[in-house]
Chains A and B, each alone.
Chain A
Amino acid sequence: MKLVLEAVTREVNGESHLYSMSMALEPGLNVLLGPTQAGKTSLMRVMAGLDRPTTGQVLVDGQDVTGRPVQQRNVAFVYQQFINYPSLTVFENIASPLRLQKKFSNDEIQRRVRETAEMMRIGHLLDRLPAALSGGQQQRTAIARALVKQAPLLLLDEPLVNLDYKLREELRAELGQIFARRNAIVVYSTTEPLEALLMGGVTAVLDKGDLLQIGPTLAVYHQPAQRRVGEVFSDPPLNILPAVFEGGLALLSGDIRFPLPPHMAGLPGGTYWLGVRAHHVAMEAHLGREIEIPAWIELAELSGSETIVHADHRDGSGGEFHLIAQLSGIHNFSYEQQARLYLDPHRLFVFTASGALAASPPRTADQRKERA
């Protein structure tokens, strides 16, 4: 199956939820990544046929299905909320899409439901009502109902967001394996960059109803086409520094200057935005080529075995920017403590003043290892 959206828009009461966007999805995992209000849910509802696009077309295998009611489309949908039929047992919940297709014998339904339930590890709960299950089990039931149908288009709208951290990691790993074995177009939306990276496949980055970029997940991560893509696909947020390039040198505020590294060397002079991910900002220099930035520590948050440091760089003439550093290990800092932060110029993204990608850091062997 192939799902194609052509210049699809969606407006509700004069308010644009989706600006014109086109994409073609192939079987495999497709991640929709974007902050809240990005249009992920609106887009998935159009794909499923729950909402009609205001303009544009939805094509399945070249056939126009725009406006065809959802009953007549072969799709499955999992909501962010745990949606099950409260009056039916878990077994009947999972069985209902099969029963309605009327082409399966009772034994076949039994077999398929049990198989799917085992896969989602709710095989022992089949006789219960959904209300008697925990949140994680309820969502497993909803996912099982979506999986059992074997629909060629499976949409999951932030399915793990209402689960606690441990359950989320567990279910995410299981889902990744299950999706990989299916020959279906799986569309999975999330607000978390890490989840997109873990899921792999194709990632479409959305923001405020706009499709910013779509491509293989790692390619989008390493070559964000726009500054906004880098920002959305980065957690903690991407650091953005204003810079001026002049005669082979880059100038930051406070008279910080450094020679342009090879990947930036061909760029014409002018003003640019430099982007650097928080885990590439360090408190020590290792390579000897790092740029040293004096800064004042604003806040240090501990998150597990990492410390996230927020610091402000200020020069005497009013130039300033904010830096976030993700350090491994636990570090203690005091407010307004003076510190030196180090950036490796080889790890810098360069965006033009209007936000388009001008240069991205080369993907070195150690970087690839780091991701793996």
Chain B
Amino acid sequence: MKSKVQISWRGTAVLVYFVLLMLPIYWLINMSLKTNNEILGGLTLLPNAPTFDNYLQIFTDPAWYSGYLNSIAYTVLNTVMSVAVALPAAYAFSRYNFLGDNHLFFWLLTNRMAPAAVFLLPFFQLYQNIGLFDTHLGVALAHMLFNVPLAVWILEGFMSGVPKEIDETAAIDGYSFPRFFFRLFLPLIRSGIGVTAFFTFMFSWVELLLARTLTTVNAKPIAATMTRTVSASGIDWGLLAAAGVLTILPGALVIYFVRNYIAKGFALGRV
């Protein structure tokens, strides 16, 4: 008897938690399937006449879908570059002692402590002059400012978990350094690279300030498109909600693929 009561309490608690968690997402999806009239008309828990018009408009209007393509382009570019740059740096921090290595390692992290707005003006001015303004590469490079230190930090934790003796054994066996690094070492920190890629992807995906300021048309991110839809005719609520749903999707997808790595990352590395 007693245990039954306990289980039902537990079940209720989980249910409440789950409802609270899902409420905003439900609301967003609900809105995205309604017409503007219904949204403004009153409270309905389910759409009276579900419509995919909002989604259809996003997928057909270049002004909308190019936002997604731009976001994906600079985010992927940023992820690839951040991980590529951070791998050798993290290896150096984890394996070698050099002058001021600890200080440099900490100093890297302090890069993350400044708000992005601090770097807004320098980036804007610089990019205008060297032709990086309104390019995917420009945004990706700007995001590396805070993604590279994070990537180095996470990867260093994973690399330090690999015994140095494996490096030495490989050298004794005759592996050249690049061959050892790509064939033997990288597979050992696969989960670390997965976790790092996920975090750099997410930070770049959700970052708005730099991405919006450093672009106008050609590399304009979806988040910026969303904030600029307030028109003379008012706010298009349904369209915005559909755009919101589509913005959550890539993140959800990435999380789904790296979810096991992240759990491992929490256990082993430095997440």
Contact = CB atoms under 8 A, between A and B. Distances in A.
* A complexed with B: yes
Interface of A: 48, 50, 69-71, 75-77, 79, 81, 83, 85-88, 96-97, 100-101, 142, 145, 149
B175 interface: yes
B152 to A, nearest CB: 23
Contacts of A81: 163, 165
B163 A71 contact: no
B169 interface: yes
A263 to B, nearest CB: 47
Nearest to A88: B184
Contact of A85 (B171, B174, B176, B184): B184
Contacts of B170: 85
B172 A70 contact: yes
Interface residues of B, number: 15
A316 B170 CA distance: 64
A368 B169 CA distance: 41
B188 A83 contact: no
A77 B172 contact: yes
B188 A76 contact: no
7 contacts: A50-B172, A71-B171, A83-B169, A85-B166, A87-B184, A100-B173, A101-B174
B135 to A, nearest CB: 38
Contacts of B169: 77, 79, 83, 85, 142, 145
Contacts of A77: 168-169, 172
Contacts of A101: 174
Contacts of B184: 85, 87-88
A101 B174 CA distance: 8
B174 A71 contact: yes
A83 B176 contact: no
B95 to A, nearest CB: 13
Contacts of B165: 79, 81, 83
B126 to A, nearest CB: 42
B171 A83 contact: no
Most-contacted residue by chain A among B172, B174, B188 (CB, 10 A): B172
B223 to A, nearest CB: 39
Interface in B193-231: none
Nearest to A149: B173
A76 B172 contact: yes
B201 to A, nearest CB: 25
Contact of A69 (B163, B171, B187, B188): B171
Given A83-B163, A87-B184, A70 B175 contact: no
Given A87-B184, A88-B184, A145 B173 contact: yes
Contacts of A97: 173-174
Interface of B: 163, 165-166, 168-176, 184, 187-188
A321 B199 CA distance: 66
A96 B173 contact: yes
A81 B168 CA distance: 13
A270 B138 CA distance: 87
B175 A100 contact: yes
Contacts of A76: 172
Contacts of A86: 187-188
Contacts of B168: 50, 70, 77
Contacts of A79: 165, 169
Contacts of A71: 171-172, 174-176
Contacts of A142: 169
Contacts of A83: 163, 165-166, 169
B171 A70 contact: yes
A149 B169 CA distance: 12
Nearest to A146: B172
Contacts of B175: 71, 96, 100
A350 to B, nearest CB: 44
Given A85-B169, A87-B187, A145-B173, 15 more contacts: A48-B172, A50-B168, A50-B171, A50-B172, A69-B171, A70-B172, A71-B171, A71-B174, A75-B172, A77-B169, A81-B165, A88-B184, A97-B174, A101-B174, A145-B169
Nearest to B173: A97
Nearest to B175: A100
B188 A87 contact: yes
A124 B242 CA distance: 58
Nearest to B162: A86
Nearest 7 A-B pairs (CB), nearest first?
A87-B187, A100-B174, A97-B173, A83-B165, A70-B171, A79-B165, A77-B172
Nearest to A72: B174
A70 B172 CA distance: 6
Contacts of B163: 81, 83
Contacts of A87: 184, 187-188
A97 B170 CA distance: 9
Nearest to A86: B188
B25 to A, nearest CB: 39
A76 B172 CA distance: 6
Contacts of A69: 171
B158 to A, nearest CB: 13
A159 to B, nearest CB: 13
Contacts of A96: 173, 175
Nearest to B170: A85
A71 B166 CA distance: 14
A17 to B, nearest CB: 15
A69 B121 CA distance: 49
A79 B176 CA distance: 20
A270 to B, nearest CB: 50
